[in-house]
Homo-oligomer: A and B are copies of this chain.
Amino acid sequence: MAKVSDSKAKTVAAAARLFCQQGYHGTALHDILEASGAPRGSLYFHFPNGKEEIGVAAVALGAQAVHDFIAQASGAAQSAEVFVASLARGMAANLERSGYREGCPIAPTALETATHSKALGGAARKAFQSWEREIKRGLERFGLKPAEAERSATAVLSLLEGALLLSRTYRSIEPMQRAEKAAVMLVRGR
């Protein structure tokens, strides 16, 4: 039983990484099998509905990781400025560490499937909303009023997502550094 769960977790982790690096449609089931090392049978056992079901689990895994990262950054910060700057720095560090292969864990899947898959589109929506809520919660901790915090959270997440896209494409951390300064300015100047 432990072994089966392990196969499932390995499959989802491998899928999440591949979808992040090369997109949902650019990743075939055999790529996931190869990267995970899990036996083919376990893939069909755990995901009887196929790739879309793996995609939903992969989006949920990425969603949880980013959510936890935001909560941790909020807990460690002493101000709204430090909080949003640490979000930008942490994401930039991840991107750099991956050799510019891994930006937002769910943006590629979200863009590819928004129009065609209700399940994947719904999972991506849930993910982004949970990040917005967690950023909002952090900003409220540092004194922003709920309506301000909500608007700023959307703007900060947009900045970070867009800058991850540019930084990944340019293979340069500079857009993330500019987004960091802009995010600090937004929560300061609100």
The reply on A181 being an interface residue by CB < 8 A is: yes
Chain B residue at minimal CB-CB distance from A151: B178
List residues 143-168 of chain A with CB under 8 A from any CB of chain B. 151-152, 154-155, 157-163, 165-166, 168
Alpha-carbon separation in the docked complex, A190 to B188 (Å): 12
What is the count of identical protomers in the complex?
2
The reply on A52 being an interface residue by CB < 8 A is: no
Instruction: Please name all residues of chain B whose beta carbon is closer than 8 Å to the beta carbon of A135 when the two chains form the complex.
Output: none
Q: How many residues of A contact B (CB 8 A)?
A: 49
Contact B175 A158 (CB under 8 A): yes
Of the candidates B23, B166, B185, the one whose C-beta lies within 8 Å of that of A23 is: B23
The reply on A78 being an interface residue by CB < 8 A is: no
The reply on A103 being an interface residue by CB < 8 A is: yes
The reply on A77 being an interface residue by CB < 8 A is: no
Contact B169 A154 (CB under 8 A): no
> Which one of A155, A170, A178 has the highest number of Cβ atoms from chain B below 10 Å of its Cβ?
A155
The reply on A85 being an interface residue by CB < 8 A is: no
The reply on A33 being an interface residue by CB < 8 A is: no
Of the candidates B101, B108, B169, the one whose C-beta lies within 8 Å of that of A108 is: B108
Given A24-B26, A185-B189, is A112 in contact with B121 using a C-beta cutoff of 8 Å? Answer: no
In the assembled complex, how far is the CB of residue A119 from the closest CB belonging to chain B, in whole angstroms? 13
Contact B110 A169 (CB under 8 A): yes
Instruction: Please name all residues of chain B whose beta carbon is closer than 8 Å to the beta carbon of A185 when the two chains form the complex.
Output: 185-186, 189-190
The reply on A94 being an interface residue by CB < 8 A is: no
For the A-B complex with A23-B112, A112-B112 known, give 13 more contacts whose Cβ atoms are closer than 8 Å: A21-B115, A23-B24, A24-B26, A26-B116, A107-B165, A108-B108, A110-B168, A125-B170, A128-B169, A155-B178, A158-B158, A158-B166, A162-B165
* Ranked 3 nearest A-B pairs via Cβ: A158-B162, A161-B162, A23-B112
